[in-house]
Structure 1
Amino acid sequence: MSKSQDKMISKYMSYLRVNLIISAYNQVPLDWKETQTNLTYCKMYFIEQGEGVVYIDNIAYYPKPGDMMFIPEGCKHGYSTISPKTYVKHWCHFNAYIGSIPISDFLNIPYIKSIKNPHKIISIFEDLTTYYNSDNPFSPLNAQATLMQLLSTYFSDICKKDISLKTQMTDTKLNLLLDFIEKNLHNKITIDELADYMNLHPNYLIRLFTSTFGLSPIEYINRLRIERAKELLTINNESIKLISELVGFSTPYYFSLVFKKQTGLSPKQYRQLIVSSYKK
């Protein structure tokens, strides 16, 4: 994988959001069978025992004990038993989006992998299922964090060369555009300016950028500005007005509006929360 692709994938991962639908552990029954249908969410399996067949886009896979599977949203998917020794497996269903677009629309991810450290995967799955079944009001947060850990562990087990980008915007010029945005966050950045930089029509740039990142250029810029503002609110005592200027917002009011929309807190509330956490 090139450095350019590394950077793009890193950008995508920073915007990944997940939502757990179900997590469980069981031995599948002998009648475990489903004809291929279009999957509307992602699945992950970890096989502990047994044998069976899993279909993805008309190709048959035969995961064995110690194998993990990632089955992406949007594929044609089915499964079946093939002997009395049915699968004993940890499994979960979930959504995984970059912006508002499924992760599988951005990345080619291997469907099956022999796991180097199965005990770690089992432990993560056990935690995930515990959080899924818990009545604790904070369990959904724990489940989300654990699901991210599960995905991270799976991706880390895969050779970098086996993960690739699907998007058409993978060239060096796009990375130059991202660098341009990051270096000019403190300035006013317009769509026309970005389009001129890329030598593209503004409307085409918006469509292309959004299809790549799941965010419009302005949404992307505001995300970066808020992340930088959070850093500044944490490390210094400058006024909200000055910080809004340093990260490129036209007015403190608009800065506060965008900040609260993204974090649920005003800049002042966020700073107070950080300060109070340091005192504990």
Structure 2
Amino acid sequence: MTTNYLTIMMKHFEHMNIEVAAAAETILNATSLKDREDVYDCNRFLFVKEGEGKLIVQDKEIPLAKGMFCVLLSGMSHRIALDPDEELTLQWCHFRASYEDRDLYRTLKIPFHISIRDEQATSAHFGRLFEELAQDKLTSRLRIKAIMLELISDYLDNLPIMTKDGAPTEDLQKIDMVLKYIDDHLADNITVENLAKQVYLHPNYFIVFFKGILGYSPIQYVNQRRMETAKSLLLQPECNVSAVAGKVGMQIYYFSRMFKAHTGLTPSRYRKQSATFVAAGNLSSEGEGKQK
């Protein structure tokens, strides 16, 4: 899985608003299951806390075991099957997302089931989700959203290094080329026309194409990458503010103004503050080493 692949997913999920409709922990056995296909008008998270069984979805039979995490999109027909001697403890939630594009999921080839390495942590996130849903506090909705983002992060952290579904789609290859071009030319004057030429698209269509996958317009994304790169460069002692501005292709006065709008700090203040944190961290590490 390439870094740009991850970039596309991160930008997608950053823009996604989530509403949880229901969540619970359920113990299933063969007699409690109805032998029918289920189709929901919401998305489902299914996490196997204990036990074994089978998930039948998209004409595939997926073995369910402890630590298996499944994401089923709305409208995806599926059913769970258990042998007479099997029992399954599932933690689940039903949710809707305001920023959802099924074609995007197909483009990214995100698998709908993975094995979680840190089972206890993911199970604990579900437990906190159940607790917050039972509350009626002012902050409950914010906490629920935070927990859902934790669960999504668990899923993404455990994705396989490479997908097994073959080569990337044509759209993904195009976006990958554009993202690499941007990173290689941050010091240059990047225009929509430049980017569209890389994938042989009309500029107007390219803007729609790019935003549909990344969630940002091309120029918004370029500026964000410049600010992210600038933050890293400002941590390097040999790079002064003027040099950093040049490396990200901006005049220093415009760079300073955009950087402050992005971080709330001037480049010089950010550099000084970061250096203070680094120094404090080094002193703390030295102190721990001496104690040992």
TM-score surpassing 0.5? yes
**Unaligned residue ranges in structure 2 (runs of 5+):** 282-292
Aligned equivalents of 1:251 and 1:100: distance in 2? 38
Normalising by structure 1, what TM-score? 0.67
Asked whether 1:275 is paired with 2:275, we answer yes
Matched, 1:15 2:11: yes
Deviation at 1:220, TM superposition (A): 2.1
Give the 5 Å matches for 1:91-130: 91-92=92-93, 104-112=105-113, 115=115, 120-129=117-126
Kindly provide the amino acid, as one letter, of the partner of residue 243 in structure 1.
V
* Conserved 8 A contact 2:56-2:81: no
Larger radius of gyration: 2
Partner secondary structure for residue 36 of structure 1:
coil
| RMSD after superposition | 4.4
1:151 and 2:155 are equivalent in the alignment: yes
**Whole-Å separation in 1 of the counterparts to 2:37 and 2:94:** 16
Matches within 5 A, 1:178-197: 178-197=179-198
**Structure 2 CA distance for partners of 1:24 and 1:162, relative to 1, 3 Å:** farther
What is the aligned partner in structure 2 of residue 266 from structure 1? 265
Question: Conserved in 1, the CA contact under 8 Å of 2:178 and 2:198?
Answer: yes
Does 2:48 match 1:46?
Answer: yes
Deviation digits for residues 27-84 of structure 1 (CA, Å, limit 9, x no counterpart): 2594789841333x45242252264x75646x57564333624224344245567669
What does residue 70 of structure 1 align with?
70
Secondary structure of 1:160 counterpart: coil
**AA of the residue aligned to 2:245:** S
- Identical aligned residues as a percent: 19
CA shift, 1:108, in A, is 2.2
What CA distance in whole angstroms lies between the structure 1 residues aligned with 2:12 and 2:221? 13
Following TM superposition, by how much is the alpha carbon of 1:202 offset from its aligned partner in structure 2, in angstroms? 0.9
Corresponding position: 1:160 with 2:162: yes
* Equivalent-residue separation in structure 1 for 2:100 and 2:179 (angstroms): 20
User: Which residue, out of 40, 53, 62, partners 1:37?
Assistant: 40
Note if contact 2:12-2:213 (Cα within 8 Å) is conserved in structure 1. Answer: no
Q: Relative to total residues, which structure has the larger strand share, 1 or 2?
A: 1
1:8 shift after superposition: 4.4
**How far apart are the structure 1 equivalents of 2:52 and 2:177?**
50
- Aligned pairs, number: 263
What is the CA–CA distance in structure 1 between the aligned matches of 2:223 and 2:28, rounded to whole Å?
Answer: 47
Q: Is the 8 A contact 1:186 1:245 kept in 2?
A: yes
Classify 1:60/1:161 alpha carbon distance in 2 versus 1 (closer, same or farther; 3 Å).
closer
Partner of 1:248: 249
Which amino acid letter does the alignment assign opposite residue 89 of structure 2? V
Residues 249, 255 of structure 1: 8 Å contact kept: no
Displacement, 1:254?
5.9
Q: How many angstroms does 1:203 deviate by?
A: 0.8
